Structure 1
Amino acid sequence: MPDLPAGRPANNRLLMVMPYEQLVRKAVAAGFRVWSLWDPALRGPAYLSQVAEHSEELLRADFGDVAGLRALVAKTARAHRVHAVLHMGSEATMVPVAAEAERLGLALNPASALRLLNDKAALRETLNTTPETTVAARCATTPADVRRAVAGRSLPAVVKPTGSAGSRGVALLRSAADLDRWEAAVRREGVPGPYLVEDYLTGPEFSVETLSSGGRHRLIGITAKQTSGPPGFVETGHFFPAPLSEPDRAAVLRATTDLLDRCGYRFGPAHTEVVLTSRGPRVVESQARLGGDRIPLLIATASGFDIEQAVFGILSDGRLPRPPEPHRHAAIRFFRLPPGRLTGTGDTGAIRALSHVHALHFPHAPGGLLPPVTNSATRHGYAVVHADTPQQAVRRLDEVESMLAASVAETGGPRQEGAAR
């Protein structure tokens, strides 16, 4: 693995796999020359042209062809004498890219660390080596195996794919009927196994954002999560910073850094989800990337700290940044309207003009069909606000929804997570 320098690297050439446009832009601003590698099936030409605008070159690959992807990583790295290979996109291709980078001596993390973090079953197996972090779990290859695993344990239990994200294929099983509904959903949506069946953890849930360098970990922030609850646990909102006592905050941080140490994680961002149970914190899952759901924007809104930019600062000089100090609160709410045809909305321009609104995303126009909300990808939009208190943040988000004034002619589709708030 390349050593992170004490000063700006003499070789500032970086190969980024699946880089989002703002990451390439911030890497270049930090002094790097970037070669970007994307699968054009995953982003449209307009988006990829933005990536290309900031890149030395935009290379295209089929991410489903692992051998071809690894070959292109090797060819590009050698041709342009890059210093390191960085992948902060989706988890599916992280491990093979890291394995190739490791073979070339250009990996920022060992492939084994990424496999342990991104594979929910491997992560659970790693954590279950000590009693204080154990959560009873069993891996199942097929839905039929899930049925056998459920038959051999007490309920309730949670079932989830080991390699999926965004709440796809996640369900709380309390009865045989729940299992039937889950199996029908994963078959209908094409959510592949293997699956993990594990204890249902109760308690407040948090997202923990960290940055690492040389195997040292720095807490950037803890976000309080809101979900739709069972059966699908779709995330409905976040508050930053989380309202935690100092002992609870320290316990959540210890659980997170202990996990990163066990996995051998050395560099970059990690996004770890933790439930604070009556027996102490338990890790739900973790990913070797930045948090989704606009968590970086919440951190920046509350504290002015740019976690994306900080990644390239670490890559430049190897030093972990000072932790941010929030001076206000930030919150996001995801819109969950009834499924049906959108018949009207309020003035979205007036919402965006509010000084406390930092983002409004509602990509729907009257006449369009709104799907039922069954996972993160099917939520109908979001708003981000700042406030002096969490209570004021709730009032401001209520105001945004009232001004949005979305009206829907319902179609009678599934509403278990698509009902209006």
Structure 2
Amino acid sequence: MSSQRILLLGGTDRLLHKAAGLDLDIVNIRRALDLSPAAARMCSTVQAMALDNVDGVTLLVEQLHADRPFTRIICHSEPLQMLAGHLSTSLGIPGSSFETVRLLRDKYALRSLLSKTGFSSIAAEIVTSREELSEFVEKHSSAVVKPRSGGGSVGVHFVRDPNQVDGVWRWAEQVGLTEMLAEEILVGAEVSLEFFSVNGRHLPIAATTKEFGDGAVELGHAVPAPLTPQQFTDASRLVEEVLSAVGITWGPSHTEIVFTPHGPELIESHSRRAGGHINELVSLAHGVDMERLAFQLAADPGMPMSFDTAPARAAAIRFLAGAEGQVVGIHGVSEAAACTDVAEVEIYVSPGDRSHGLRWSGDYAGHVIARGDTATEAMREANRQASRIWIETRETTAGDIAAGCLGEEERAAFDAFDQSMARGK
């Protein structure tokens, strides 16, 4: 048997089709046995179990590894990154270690490392009360306040007025957090850099620009970001140094930076491909699918790696959201999808679902992906066609804020991470 054996965590139908035609023995551990027959046939083993049961998953994987060793662990899910890191470390499989993933997941630990190594000079503190948050805001005039770990912009608040402190701390108490990370607000254009690392060599693939509304939740992205060659070089150099400092050696990564008046400053980094369908935008613009690439390299570890960072065209996504209430209708989808430069329209909600407005990325109701000759043109077209789609809602009694902000999967994953870190794994 010559095929490479890999462990896939949370592999979906969509993701498994990216492995089509490759010589891989795929063991897929996920929460439920709900794959399509075609996707299930692409796996030698599909095992359903609670992925927040760290001990149970570890025991199962150790047994499977003893029967025939895994050569790689592939996981693109944000809530499962620390589980993947734990298993890589426990089994001695090449990839991001538990310590690397923990460092990236813990935003304060990463900020502390960046400060210690000279990659960052912004103020950052853990605050455990509204009084401490007030003191930070008073000292620095403003603050971006966020959970110490997490993703999808959940719980990220910009505090530009001392009167906003009470509301931010009330949110933290409602979701059960006893501490938050407060940082200086970085001023400048925000972009992300998408990299792929092989044997400790970090290769830039693309830069992504972002579109925001009034808060921290992204309304859309576009690839390529409108950077000068020098800006791309400076940002890439910073990302390469950070990825080496945290210990990333293999796989995709997603790093967010801001171009401040003093140069690029890192916000955070992740040991996975970007969310928000950025991978699809990179694939459309640059012809590189990082999900497929992970499978290709797992199947052929010696595959030559090089990327042309000059895109063929640009691609952009605009997210859809409904007003708070119950979804009663969805209009304009077919009209938007019929446009020549629209690559994809997808709706995530159905009549009867609850809409929470737009508080974090988990509230997106759908998206439109469009192409253009430049990022500006692609974003303009995505916005134009998204405006034709109406998620109709009707008012209902407001639900519990805490239950709406963190889904059960993320709650379970956060709990598992906390338990495994407490045991020193």
Tell me if both proteins adopt one fold, taking TM over 0.5 as the criterion.
Answer: yes
Corresponding position: 1:63 with 2:55? no
Question: In 2 relative to 1, CA 146–54 (structure 1 residues): closer, same or farther, beyond 3 Å?
Answer: farther
**8 Å Cα contact 1:219/1:323 also seen in 2:** no
**8 Å Cα contact 1:161/1:170 also seen in 2:** yes
Matched letter for residue 70 of structure 1: T
1:11 Cα offset (Å): 5.0
Corresponding position: 1:317 with 2:304? no
Aligned-residue CA RMSD in angstroms?
A: 2.7
Question: Which residue of 65, 71, 91 maps to 1:104?
Answer: 91
Question: In 2 relative to 1, CA 240–182 (structure 1 residues): closer, same or farther, beyond 3 Å?
Answer: same
Corresponding position: 1:175 with 2:167? no
Matched letter for residue 387 of structure 1: G
1:32 Cα offset (Å): 0.8
Matches within 5 A, 1:354-373: 354-365=339-350, 369-373=354-358
Counterpart of 1:73 in structure 2 is 61
Structure 2 runs not aligned, ≥5 long: 400-425
Report the Cα distance in structure 2 between the residues aligned to 1:337 and 1:126, rounded to whole angstroms: 40
Report the Cα distance in structure 1 between the residues aligned to 2:350 and 2:91, rounded to whole angstroms: 49
Counterpart of 1:206 in structure 2 is 191
Counterpart of 2:402 in structure 1 is none
* Aligned length in residues: 397
Matches within 5 A, 1:88-167: 88-90=76-78, 92-140=79-127, 142-143=128-129, 147=133, 150=136, 153-167=139-153
Aligned to 2:96, what secondary structure does the other structure show?
coil
Matches within 5 A, 1:15-414: 15-40=7-32, 46-47=34-35, 51-90=39-78, 92-140=79-127, 142-143=128-129, 147=133, 150=136, 153-188=139-174, 190=175, 192=177, 194-230=179-215, 233-315=216-298, 316-318=300-302, 319-342=304-327, 344-365=329-350, 369-409=354-394
1:404 Cα offset (Å): 1.9
Question: In 2 relative to 1, CA 227–191 (structure 1 residues): closer, same or farther, beyond 3 Å?
Answer: farther
Percent of paired sites with the same residue: 26
Aligned to 2:208, what secondary structure does the other structure show?
strand
Deviations 1:65-97 (A, max 9, x none): 22222222212222233223333322x443344
Deviations 1:214-271 (A, max 9, x none): 10011010000112243xx001011110001111111111111111011111000001
1:169 Cα offset (Å): 1.0
Counterpart of 2:411 in structure 1 is none
**8 Å Cα contact 1:310/1:321 also seen in 2:** no
**8 Å Cα contact 1:146/1:195 also seen in 2:** no
Aligned to 2:322, what secondary structure does the other structure show?
coil
Question: In 2 relative to 1, CA 79–157 (structure 1 residues): closer, same or farther, beyond 3 Å?
Answer: same
Report the Cα distance in structure 1 between the residues aligned to 2:231 and 2:268, rounded to whole angstroms: 19
Report the Cα distance in structure 1 between the residues aligned to 2:294 and 2:26, rounded to whole angstroms: 14
Report the Cα distance in structure 1 between the residues aligned to 2:31 and 2:321, rounded to whole angstroms: 30
**8 Å Cα contact 2:206/2:286 also seen in 1:** no
Question: In 2 relative to 1, CA 408–39 (structure 1 residues): closer, same or farther, beyond 3 Å?
Answer: closer
Deviations 1:279-305 (A, max 9, x none): 111110111001000001101112322
1:342 Cα offset (Å): 4.5
Matched letter for residue 165 of structure 2: L
1:36 Cα offset (Å): 0.7
**8 Å Cα contact 1:212/1:320 also seen in 2:** no
Question: In 2 relative to 1, CA 403–100 (structure 1 residues): closer, same or farther, beyond 3 Å?
Answer: closer
Report the Cα distance in structure 2 between the residues aligned to 1:311 and 1:187, rounded to whole angstroms: 39
Report the Cα distance in structure 1 between the residues aligned to 2:28 and 2:178, rounded to whole angstroms: 30
1:377 Cα offset (Å): 0.4
1:48 Cα offset (Å): 7.3
Counterpart of 2:408 in structure 1 is none
1:205 Cα offset (Å): 0.5
Question: In 2 relative to 1, CA 145–278 (structure 1 residues): closer, same or farther, beyond 3 Å?
Answer: same
Q: Which moved more, 1:259-268 or 1:179-188?
A: 179-188
Question: In 2 relative to 1, CA 370–164 (structure 1 residues): closer, same or farther, beyond 3 Å?
Answer: same
Counterpart of 2:6 in structure 1 is 14
Aligned to 1:133, what secondary structure does the other structure show?
coil
**8 Å Cα contact 2:137/2:162 also seen in 1:** no
Counterpart of 1:3 in structure 2 is none
Report the Cα distance in structure 1 between the residues aligned to 2:211 and 2:375, rounded to whole angstroms: 13
1:135 Cα offset (Å): 1.9
Matched letter for residue 109 of structure 2: A
Q: Which moved more, 1:251-260 or 1:148-157?
A: 148-157
Report the Cα distance in structure 2 between the residues aligned to 1:412 and 1:155, rounded to whole angstroms: 36
Matched letter for residue 223 of structure 1: T
Report the Cα distance in structure 2 between the residues aligned to 1:277 and 1:381, rounded to whole angstroms: 32
Counterpart of 1:417 in structure 2 is none
Question: In 2 relative to 1, CA 193–237 (structure 1 residues): closer, same or farther, beyond 3 Å?
Answer: farther
Report the Cα distance in structure 2 between the residues aligned to 1:93 and 1:270, rounded to whole angstroms: 15
Report the Cα distance in structure 2 between the residues aligned to 1:105 and 1:53, rounded to whole angstroms: 28
Question: In 2 relative to 1, CA 144–402 (structure 1 residues): closer, same or farther, beyond 3 Å?
Answer: closer
**8 Å Cα contact 2:3/2:23 also seen in 1:** no
